[in-house]
Amino acid sequence: MRLLPGFQHKRGESMSIRNFFDAASVAVIGASRTPGKISNAIVKNLISSGYGGKIYPVNPRESEVENLKAYPSVAALPEKVDVAVIAVPAVRVLDVAAECGEKGIKNLVTITAGFKEIGREGLEVEKNLLALCRQYGMRMLGPNCAGMMDTHVPINTSFAKGFPRKGDIAFFSQSGAMMVAILDWSHEAGIGLSKVVSLGNKADLSEIDFIQDAADDPYTRVILCYIEDVIDGSRFLDVVSQATRKKPVVIYKSGTSQAGALAASSHTGALAGSDLAYDIAFRQCGVIRARTITELFDLATSFAKSPVPKGPRVAIVTNSGGPGIITSDNVELRGLTMSRFTKETLDALREGLPAEAGIYNPVDVLGDAMEDRYRFALERVCGDPNVDSVVVIITPTATNKPVETSRVVIEMKKKNPDKVFYGAYIGGAALAEAKEVLNRAGIPCFTFPEPVIASISQMVKYHEYRTSQELQRGLKFDGIDRKAVKAVFYDVLRDNRLVLLGSEAAEVARAYGIPAEPVSLATTPEEAVEEAEKLGYPVVLKVSSPKILHKTDVGGVKVGLGSPEEVYNAFLEIMENSQRFMPQAVVYGVEVQKMMPKGTELIIGMTRDVQFGPMIAVGLGGIYVNLLKDVSFRLARGLSRQEIERMITETKAYTLLRGYRGERSRDLNALVDAVGRVACLALDFPEITEIDVNPVFAYEKGLSALDVKITISVS
Amino acid sequence: MRLLPGFQHKRGESMSIRNFFDAASVAVIGASRTPGKISNAIVKNLISSGYGGKIYPVNPRESEVENLKAYPSVAALPEKVDVAVIAVPAVRVLDVAAECGEKGIKNLVTITAGFKEIGREGLEVEKNLLALCRQYGMRMLGPNCAGMMDTHVPINTSFAKGFPRKGDIAFFSQSGAMMVAILDWSHEAGIGLSKVVSLGNKADLSEIDFIQDAADDPYTRVILCYIEDVIDGSRFLDVVSQATRKKPVVIYKSGTSQAGALAASSHTGALAGSDLAYDIAFRQCGVIRARTITELFDLATSFAKSPVPKGPRVAIVTNSGGPGIITSDNVELRGLTMSRFTKETLDALREGLPAEAGIYNPVDVLGDAMEDRYRFALERVCGDPNVDSVVVIITPTATNKPVETSRVVIEMKKKNPDKVFYGAYIGGAALAEAKEVLNRAGIPCFTFPEPVIASISQMVKYHEYRTSQELQRGLKFDGIDRKAVKAVFYDVLRDNRLVLLGSEAAEVARAYGIPAEPVSLATTPEEAVEEAEKLGYPVVLKVSSPKILHKTDVGGVKVGLGSPEEVYNAFLEIMENSQRFMPQAVVYGVEVQKMMPKGTELIIGMTRDVQFGPMIAVGLGGIYVNLLKDVSFRLARGLSRQEIERMITETKAYTLLRGYRGERSRDLNALVDAVGRVACLALDFPEITEIDVNPVFAYEKGLSALDVKITISVS
């Protein structure tokens, strides 16, 4: 839902939302005296949060609420408050918002439900509410939200039970219930939070605005979101890719996107699937995507406590073999590597540890190890240049000293600020205090090794993303003829079509420097022969009809035609076959194309996501493309040459392109160029909904695109 | 490690290990008075576990230990105890074991370390220890183990701190440290256990014996294992596939198997990867494989508490939208399906719930729902025939009654014993009591939806496995000529080779009814022509040399030869190319084979795992087989036609075989037959280490295997 697009540009850029948190005064409109009522809970929460500003209950039927003087109306308030929390019945919300506007109030938190979420009627009211906000220059959280909190200000305009521990994790939730549930759970999980916001219907402010604000908030180290959709994909990418340069953003996205439903006719669309756009959008702006709620908070804890490791090399120090093996398995599984120690490290470990100890990574200091032996091993391991992260594992034994060992780990961290430390203390009561000591000192300590390694892996990926960002350069191409494309589209629309003929699509591709073989459209056998003579033999003939998508299947393709006679006869046969198998299809004629020598068969494609725009695909092509599913995707937006190279290396096609089983390598540069040009075409012409370039033959030198399909939309 | 294979058959079948748990008397050899010593801890644990039998400390230097009379030697014991726990220094273990044997003691728990795990020397002593056990007919747990427990007897011969809550989960751990760690953790996780065994070095008894025993233990509902390897794959498959028919077996297997290292030369071997054998072995005997330690216990909790759902259809009742979406996402992700309610159910829900409620699955009873509204919705949902499992979600709200809602869920479960119920109560303190109420009533309740859905999914898979087992029938084939195979192998070994020539491999395949095209070996161009005339043109010529594995790459293959002249020249060219590119390779001549029309290219293969024997593969073939990696694996052992069909349907090749994009379907029956015959060949001849049949062309009617590679071993 995009409301009043004219305001899009202004949102979040010119107007700060800082005052929502740093408010000097808050009015609660509709504040009730009745305990249990939402509007009463808000006043109580404001008071009990320790909020230092002024609180004004507004209620015509009360003279005081929770020992605070109540005002009969917004107009009667003694000052222009910073934030108005609206908790009146839905039918009253528009009036109250207008009153706030008249009063000069700039920030609304609309708790009241009964808007978009109840259907069309509610959506209308919500649009009017937003229009009012625009008219008076007000920003609004909600409607249908549970409010917001900041533990550092402190302030709490929500009706949720309980106030979180002070911490450095900001949490923005599109579900109010999830926010309340997680708040409740955060206490026993020992998680502290800086800001908590229930986003509600996101009529005005959304996660984008709060991410932008939290990116500059000194009390927030990690930004967490639970969202069900992104409303403005373009702004999301802009803002969030800036935020992730400053601090990690971890998002749990639920629900299935609608991207898949739009694109049914193209190969690329069918391959994209429903959730892919979010996946690649998150990746391209550096968002860490959590796959479970538990992972969301495991990652938050890690990122909040620990610096990001410099690389993927993990060392393990353990007092028992089994957990060491489990952890090594996970290191491999998660794409990290086990540190290989230098000879010096190994010699020192061999000399200083008992003979039965394991000195290769994982280092097994044995079940009878006390803190001294851990210290000895950790000193050597930390001194090794091949170690980026150190995982300390403890299992309970009769003799070990877990708390003292935690202190050793803390000491190591102080001496080695460039290394990242984690604890996996496998046990319950016997290790509880030791865990607590480690966690309090800012070293993440989990019970089992799996979340430790998963966290390190995500942190390393985040580090790699931030490093790689510095190398990115945008795409720039010569020899692009926009006018030629417009001219083709003009003809197509005049012909009342949305699918381009093969000849038209090839022309569009060629106008963007995509190496498509020219296609001529012949309407008589004589014309076909004439075109073939011009192109040179052998040629291929294909039926030209927007309704016939799989031409081979209806006998609409003839290849390897080497003479005028063959061309003549092929034309007639194709027309006959088409009439027989697809009598209802309008046939525009037969396309004539030079037959090209076979190369490595690839596909380059584009399908458009409603939120995030064009998605570009590259991979193994040919008629088995949907079977092999060897395709890598990226958003066209912000694509760089480096990123195109990376997407190619992710495919199996890359193995073929490099030269498989003795074959010569193919022209990778030409492929990168062609993919980039398809991306430019899709960005320049938003009316293109789908592109399939399949097959593209890749040769030792150059490419040749044999078949281009382009679909456009009217809008 | 296989020690004294002569005893393999007797193990575990004739001798019960029940007495290890149901012991009427236990001697602790080496029992010390010194607190903190392992041998002292064992005596204390025996006493404090409430063990009702007799306890005899044995120690020549003590007269009493923990107020129990101590005996100077095993010989001095007043009776032939049921179990002797050996906790003496490693150098004394052999003597003590012999004394136990002389005394007539049948069950040893050897705690002492310093055997196989310290290297070759220790392994020798361990072998001698096992030989002693065999000599006296003793069974032994360990050495190098932490002991064992049974909470129902009760008995505790371990030195671990703490004794678990009584429960119905048996846990067998190859790592003593993991056992102790998990014991410690189990208290705070609220997990009860029936038996706990530290397996140690598994010199005699292993997880196989304890799984067999626990399968018949009335106090055990679920069997859990942490293992690092399986020593006797064949017995594991026999015993465990019997056990899984009685109760669920959940295994966490760590460490990387060595299977991959053995098989390097074949395509099939390269595709198998290192951990695959365990994966398919577990699957084929119905083991549920946990991927994390947390999952191991989540699954245990589920299986212990809940009956297995009858099908994959899940209904969700929630008081808020967000968690409902998360849960639905997970249902799809885990291969389950969302229940579609009948019209009656929908009508009833629409009528009885507020207008804003969600009546389609997930059913959203709204944030102000109290227990009555949950009851109403649950009654309708439970009454729907399309529901197998019901997930009840609660998030904390100001008004809801979580404990009362739990009671409603318990009431529903009583009324609907055929449905499976789960709770996902997202929150902390506000829901703690309600969670406890549900869990105590035997309904698994987790904090987040993900483990709920993961558990249901594994339970449904287990149910499907058990149901499908009833349909399985073994493989039986006619027309198998074992003598012909032996004759070929005899020639190969006499020639000092292990790799069969193409002509030999085709002969072996044909002897088993695998439809390989006959291959003739020609050593002169004249012979080649003669063979071609016999077979009929066109023919294919291929160089015959065990050293040249990829013949195409060295110009060693000529196809489509249509005349005597072409055959003659091709022979000469192949010999020249081979000499030029592989001058060091011994060339046996040139193979002549009839050229077959192209069909769907498949591979059938076999690679042998050290533990679990032959693994059979089928999938897309041709020269890109390793690139496409479209191969499905099964163990040859116990393979049925149904299972072969299932393995084919798992591949992309299946899509082609059914008839892709208008092509005709291929002969699936012939393929199932050929796969089964390859499995039989591999089972009949353990000396075959690898088979690659690639490509196999599949036609509308029949198959044709063009190239067969077989490698054998001497042993």
CATH at residue A141: 3.40.50.720
CB contact under 8 Å between A174 and B320, yes or no, is no
pLDDT at B395 over 90: yes
Rounded to an integer, the average pLDDT of A318-335 is: 90
Confidence label for B273 from pLDDT (cuts 50, 70 and 90): low
| Nearest-by-Cβ selection for B427 from A181, A319, A395 | A181
- Residue from the list B177, B323, B624 with its beta carbon closest to the beta carbon of A395: B177
How much is the pLDDT for B6? 38
A90 with A224, same domain: the answer is yes
Q: Domain with B692 in it: what CATH number? A: 3.30.470.20
Q: Which residues pair with A315 in a beta bridge?
A: A390
- Position B257 pLDDT exceeds 50: no
Domain total for chain A? 4
pLDDT of residue B68: 96
Bridge pairing between strands B337-338 and B363-364: unpaired
Q: What contacts B503, CB < 8 A, 6 or more positions away?
A: B519, B520, B521, B544, B591
**B581 CB within 8 Å of a chain A CB:** no
Residue at B37 is within a domain = yes
Identify the CA nearest to A519 among candidates A494, A537, A544. A544
**Per-residue model confidence as pLDDT tens digits over A53-101:** 999 999 999 999 999 999 999 999 999 999 999 999 999 999 999 999 9
The residue behind tokens 């695909």 is A617
Asked if residues A2 and A8 have their Cβ atoms less than 8 Å apart, the reply is yes
Residue B401: inside a domain, yes or no?
yes
Q: With 70 as the cut, is the pLDDT of residue B270 above it? A: no
pLDDT grade for A274, boundaries at 50, 70 and 90: low
Average pLDDT of the residues in B275-281: 89
Percent of chain A with pLDDT over 70: 95
Kindly report the average pLDDT of chain A as a whole number. 90
User: Are B463 and B309 in contact, with CB atoms under 8 Å apart?
Assistant: yes
Question: Phi/psi at B304 (nearest 5 deg)?
Answer: -70, -35
DSSP A180-223: HHHHHHHHHHT-EEEEEEE-TT-SS--HHHHHHHHHT-TT-SEE
pLDDT mean over A307-322: 93
| Contact criterion met (CB < 8 Å) for A175 and B396 | no
- Chain A touched by B483 (CB under 8 Å): no
pLDDT at A162: 85
Q: Are strands B688-698 and B703-705 parallel, antiparallel or unpaired?
A: antiparallel
- For chain B positions 130-159, those within 8 Å of chain A (CB to CB) are 159
CA distance B349 to chain A (A): 17
- The answer as to whether A576 is a domain residue is yes
DSSP string, A383-442: T-TT-SEEEEEE---SS--HHHHHHHHHHHHHH-TTSEEEEEE--SHHHHHHHHHHHHTT
Contacts of A324 in chain B (CB under 8 A): none
Domain boundary among B594, B627, B646: B594
Domain assignment present for residue A339? The answer is yes
Q: Which chain A residues have a beta carbon less than 8 Å from that of B556?
A: none
Considering the domain architecture, whether residues B136 and B214 belong to the same structural domain is answered as yes
ipTM over 0.85: no
pLDDT per residue over B159-215, tens digit each? 988 899 999 999 999 999 889 888 888 888 888 999 999 999 999 999 999 999 999
Name the band, by pLDDT with cuts 50, 70 and 90, for residue A628. confident
Same domain for A56 and A185? Answer: yes
pLDDT of the residue at A108: 98
| Closest of B82, B80, B26 to residue B57, by C-alpha | B26
Examine the domain organization and report whether B42 and B149 are in the same domain. yes
The average pLDDT across B670-677 equals 96
Amino acid identity at A361: N
- What Cα–Cα distance (Å) separates residue B335 from each residue in A506, B321, B455? 42, 22, 12
Residues B87 and B145 in one domain: yes
Tell me the sheet residues that pair with A363. Answer: A317
Query: Of chain B residues 204-243, which have a CB less than 8 A from chain A?
Result: 226, 228
Provide the residue type at B396 as one letter. P
For A31, residues 6+ apart whose C-beta sits below 8 A from its C-beta are: A39, A40, A42, A43, A57, A58, A59, A62, A65, A70, A87
Residue numbers of A between 391 and 410 with CB closer than 8 Å to B: 395-399
Same domain, B400 and B496: no
CATH of the domain at B448: 3.40.50.261
CATH of the domain at B583: 3.30.1490.20
Angle between helix axes B564-581 and B525-535 (nearest 10 degrees) is: 130
Backbone region of residue B661 per phi and psi (left: phi > 0; alpha: psi in -120 to 50; beta: other values): left
Quote the CA–CA distance of A135 and A125 in Å, as a whole number: 15
Classify residue B224 by burial, with Cβ atoms within 10 Å: 0-12, 13-18, 19+: buried
Question: Is the pLDDT assigned to residue A260 strictly greater than 70?
Answer: no
Specify which residues A696 forms β-bridges with: A602, A705
Q: Do residues A133 and A139 make contact, with C-beta atoms less than 8 angstroms apart?
A: yes
Angle between helices B482-494 and B502-511 (to 10 degrees): 160
B467: pLDDT strictly greater than 60: yes
Last residue of a domain, one of B228, B247, B263: B228
B121 vs A contacts (CB less than 8 Å): none
Distances from the Cα of B454 to the Cα of A10, A254, A550, B189, angstroms: 45, 16, 41, 18
Minimal CA separation from B42 to chain A, in Å: 12
Q: What is the per-residue pLDDT for A222?
A: 95
Q: Which residues in A433-566 belong to E strands, given as ranges?
A: 445-446, 520-522, 539-544, 557-561
Q: Is residue A627 part of a domain?
A: yes
Tell me the mean pLDDT in the region A308-336. 92
Residues B62, B157 within the same domain: yes
Q: Pick the last residue of a domain from A441, A469, A497.
A: A469
In a domain, A234, yes or no: no
| A chain contacts of residue B661, beta-carbon cutoff 8 Å | 550, 552-553, 623
A672 and A571 in a single domain? The answer is no
Confidence of residue A398 (pLDDT cuts 50, 70, 90): confident
At residue B3, the pLDDT reads 39
Whole-number pLDDT of residue A266: 61
- Amino acid sitting at position A625: V
In a domain, A402, yes or no: yes
Do B398 and B316 fall into the same domain?
Answer: yes
B/e letters for B671-709, b = 16+ CB within 10 Å, e = fewer, are bbbbbbbbbbbbbebeebbbbbbbbbbbbeeebbbbbbb
A191 in the same domain as A215: yes
pLDDT value of position A261: 35
Query: Which amino acid, A12?
Result: G
Give B296 to chain A, closest Cα distance, Å: 12
The answer to whether residues B321 and B202 belong to one domain is no
CA distance B207 to chain A (A): 16
State which amino acid sits at residue A258. Q
In DSSP terms, which residues pair with A289 in a beta bridge? Answer: A251
Mean pLDDT of all residues belonging to chain B? 90
Are A517 and A628 within one domain? no
What's the whole-model pTM score?
0.88
Six token digits for residue B437 = 């109420």
Measured distance CA(B616)–CA(B123) in Å, rounded: 34
Residue A262, pLDDT above cutoff 70: no
Q: Which of B66, B52, B28, B38 is nearest to B161 (CA)?
A: B38
pLDDT, residue B263, reads 37
The per-residue pLDDT for range B151-162, each reduced to its tens digit, is: 999 999 999 888
Confidence check: pLDDT of B271 > 80: no
The verdict on a CB contact (< 8 Å) between A553 and B662 is: yes
The domain of B678 spans 600-712
Closest CB to B36 among A175, A398, A628: A398
Whether the CB of A254 is below 8 Å from some CB of chain B: the reply is yes
Q: What is the pLDDT of residues B588-643, one digit of tens each?
A: 999 999 999 989 999 999 999 888 999 999 999 987 788 888 999 999 998 999 99
Identify the residue with better confidence: B8 or A371: A371
Tell me the per-residue pLDDT of B476-498, one tens digit each, with 9 for 90 and over: 899 999 999 999 999 999 999 99
CA distance A299 to A305: 10
Least confident residue range of A83-92, A251-260, B396-405: A251-260
Tokens 């082609």 belong to residue: B656
Is A428 within a domain?
yes
Higher model confidence: residue B111 or residue A187?
A: B111
Structure confidence at residue B377 as a pLDDT band (50, 70, 90): very high
Q: Would the CB atoms of A426 and B228 count as touching at under 8 Å?
A: no
- Is the per-residue pLDDT at A1 higher than 50? no
